[in-house]
Amino acid sequence: MTRVFVYGTLKKGQPNNCRLFESNNGKAEYLGLAFTIQKYPLLITTKNNIPFLLNIPGQGHRVHGEIYKVDDQMLKFLDDFESVPTLYQRTVVQLEVKEWVGKMEGEEKVSPGSIMDVFVYTATTCEPDWRSLLCYENYDSEGDHGLKYRRREERD
């Protein structure tokens, strides 16, 4: 099982969270809340208002999200869903745990403040105008930013 940090449309209450629990995609278990140790730019961009985390440590904000434990089948699904390696890449990020509900067999309980390395999906590119966009620390598809996410089935 592999730990993955989600910060966008895969979080609870967001449009694609259900994909983590469709059994034909594999298995996923919610473990807790966390935020990045380093600051990163989290942007909402393109005509579909997609959240992108840029792999530019030291800029932006400490990004808040959720940690999931996923099996190999779900990891493969997520790689496909995130269009790896075209749109996103799977990289490692260091997180500080905010809240932990997961139970890890053979490991001690994780407490708030613990530091861990997990996988995250970051953008493979940074368009020139992206650096001037507003950065967020916590993504919500219905947030007061007014940038409504367009689901895949709604796109041209």
- Parallel, antiparallel or unpaired: strands 64-70 and 88-100: unpaired
Q: What are phi and psi of 79, to 5 degrees?
A: -60, -45
DSSP-derived secondary structure for 107-124? SPPP-TT-EEEEEEEEES
Q: Contact, 21 vs 28, CB < 8 A?
A: yes
Q: Contact, 93 vs 128, CB < 8 A?
A: no
82 carries an active-site annotation = yes
Active-site pick, 22, 82, 142, 154 = 82
Residues tagged active-site: 82
